[in-house]
């Protein structure tokens, strides 16, 4: 970690041996100067050899003993309040979680951030919480034949404990014990006898497979996970070899619980990475030619789930070092996502009615904003007023509960990885709370962040990089026309949706 000991000159004052870390942004250093000088960070101008330091360290030539110049005047000290202030550090753990409306954190039990981030991500699916509450199994430590049932019960009990918010953090000891019993790869140790870091996406998929065995579907799908996460494809395979003129085109179905975004040099956006593998050229045995030949493989989505889980395929095996190396490339992902163009024509036709409702609602809101502005009102403030008893349209097809009837999604959770290899580094979950408010769930530390912080997780460096993204259904509020009378005009109605 690049840490320097510098001197800071402020007017006639010189502060010696001030520590500065370039791993932290300049805002952190300015906050440190604020404690020394009482000059608020926004009033500071920090310079090093004529270079003004702003949002990053840029071209600043730092070394031990260098003198940094700070300009700015200290603000007047505030008067002591009439009522004693209650500080966050004076609150108990449970009071702190309640006061800040935070989620309960999970203790890291030794390289278990991969499991903690998985638990936090899946907790954002309310239907999963309801299904777990209806599961009647027991979490038993000595069971040998039905470990998956005990894991399901343990996850249910852990979520219940987290929802109570009695503690700022809880230790998921029992779930970890059972998961390592069911999946031996998670019990792997290094040469020093310590449990090794594991892949978070592998953990997500293993937990999903375990839940598949125990949570029943409420519709016609095989199980609950398949009902709410299952993606169906219609695959077409056509031989491109000129000698295989008579070989017929073949079609067959496929399914998955996850959509993959493959990352190459050309991929800059998540949609591009997803499309790259839905239409590709492969080599396989040709029955008509009796040899390998090139085929065009094209996949179209024939069924969309309510919750879309997308993996950014960032790890690849590197023989040198015998590790799963990481692709750090910046790949942008959206807060709202539309899967329409990846669907079969048949599914597109089924999605159209709900999509037309979304379009009509957008037009209605735009007209409402324009009307409010003409009256001299604040359109944004009016549209963002809180409403009680909000009702929403169905987000799934009536004959297929757990599907998506529009193809529109909103981002509700991310698991990021920081590091250069899947067998090392650190995993963190980022969970949408409401609107532009998010939570960073870094094991036992849960802190509030904003949407702009989420968009910075697209990659390009050693910061946290999006690895698994979970999109939930975009909700359409049922519009109730306002009542009118002979003396008053129609009252604008807020149409802000809440994906949580």
Question: Which residues are known to be catalytic?
Answer: 113, 426
336-338 vs 445-450, strand pairing mode? unpaired
d(Cα 158, Cα 118) in Å, to the nearest integer? 13
Smallest Cα–Cα separation from 182: which of 219, 208, 221? 208
d(Cα 68, Cα 65) in Å, to the nearest integer? 9
Q: How many CB atoms lie within 10 A of CB 115?
A: 25
Q: What is the 3-state secondary structure (H, E, C) of 207-234?
A: HHHHHHCCCCCCCCCCCHHHHHHCEEEE
Distance of CA 162 to the CA centre of its chain: 19
Smallest Cα–Cα separation from 25: which of 453, 455, 466, 467? 453
d(Cα 257, Cα 235) in Å, to the nearest integer? 16
The phi, psi pair for 226, rounded to 5°, reads -65, -35
């Amino acid at each position: 970690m690049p840490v320097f000991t510098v001197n800071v000159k402020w007017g006639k004052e010189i502060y010696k041996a001030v520590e500065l870390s370039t791993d932290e942004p300049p805002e952190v250093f300015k906050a440190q100067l604020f404690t020394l000088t009482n000059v608020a960070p926004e009033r500071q101008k920090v310079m090093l050899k004529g270079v003004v330091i702003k949002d990053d360290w840029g071209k600043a030539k730092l070394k031990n003993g260098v003198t940094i110049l700070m300009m700015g005047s200290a603000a007047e000290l505030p008067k002591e309040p009439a009522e004693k202030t209650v500080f966050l550090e004076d609150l108990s753990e449970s009071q702190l979680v309640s006061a800040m409306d935070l989620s309960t954190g999970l203790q890291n039990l030794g390289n278990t951030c991969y499991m903690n981030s998985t638990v936090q991500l899946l907790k954002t699916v309310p239907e999963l919480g309801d299904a777990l509450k209806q599961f009647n199994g027991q979490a038993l430590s000595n069971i040998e034949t039905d470990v998956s049932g005990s894991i399901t019960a343990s996850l249910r009990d852990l979520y219940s404990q987290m929802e109570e918010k009695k503690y700022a953090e809880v230790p998921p000891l029992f779930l970890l014990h059972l998961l390592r019993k069911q999946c031996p790869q998670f019990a792997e140790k290094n040469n020093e006898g310590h449990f090794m870091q594991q892949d978070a996406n592998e953990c997500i998929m293993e937990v999903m497979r375990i839940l598949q065995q125990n949570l029943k579907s409420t519709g016609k799908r095989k199980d609950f996970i398949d009902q709410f996460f299952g993606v169906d494809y219609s695959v077409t395979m056509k031989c491109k070899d000129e000698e295989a003129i008579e070989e017929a085109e073949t079609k067959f179905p496929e399914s998955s619980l996850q959509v993959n975004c493959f990352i190459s040099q050309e991929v800059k956006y998540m949609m591009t990475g997803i499309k790259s593998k839905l239409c590709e050229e492969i080599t396989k045995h040709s029955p008509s030619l009796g040899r390998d030949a090139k085929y065009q493989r094209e996949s179209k989505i024939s069924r969309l789930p309510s919750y879309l889980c997308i993996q950014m395929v960032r790890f690849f095996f590197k023989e040198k070092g015998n590790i799963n190396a990481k692709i750090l490339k910046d790949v942008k992902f959206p807060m709202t996502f539309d899967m329409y163009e990846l669907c079969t024509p048949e599914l597109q036709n089924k999605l159209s009615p709900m999509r037309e409702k979304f379009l009509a609602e957008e037009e209605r809101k735009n007209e409402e904003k324009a009307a409010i502005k003409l009256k001299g009102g604040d359109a944004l403030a009016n549209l963002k007023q809180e409403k009680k008893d909000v009702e929403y349209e169905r987000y799934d097809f009536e004959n297929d509960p757990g599907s998506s009837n529009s193809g529109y999604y909103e981002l509700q959770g991310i698991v990021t990885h920081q590091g250069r290899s899947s067998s090392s580094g650190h995993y963190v979950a980022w969970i949408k709370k409401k609107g532009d408010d998010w939570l960073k769930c870094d094991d036992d530390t849960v802190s509030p962040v904003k949407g702009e912080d989420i968009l910075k997780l697209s990659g390009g460096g050693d910061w946290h990089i999006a690895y698994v993204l979970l999109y939930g259904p975009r909700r359409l509020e049922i519009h109730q026309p306002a009542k009118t009378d002979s003396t008053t005009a129609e009252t604008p109605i807020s149409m802000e949706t809440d994906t949580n």
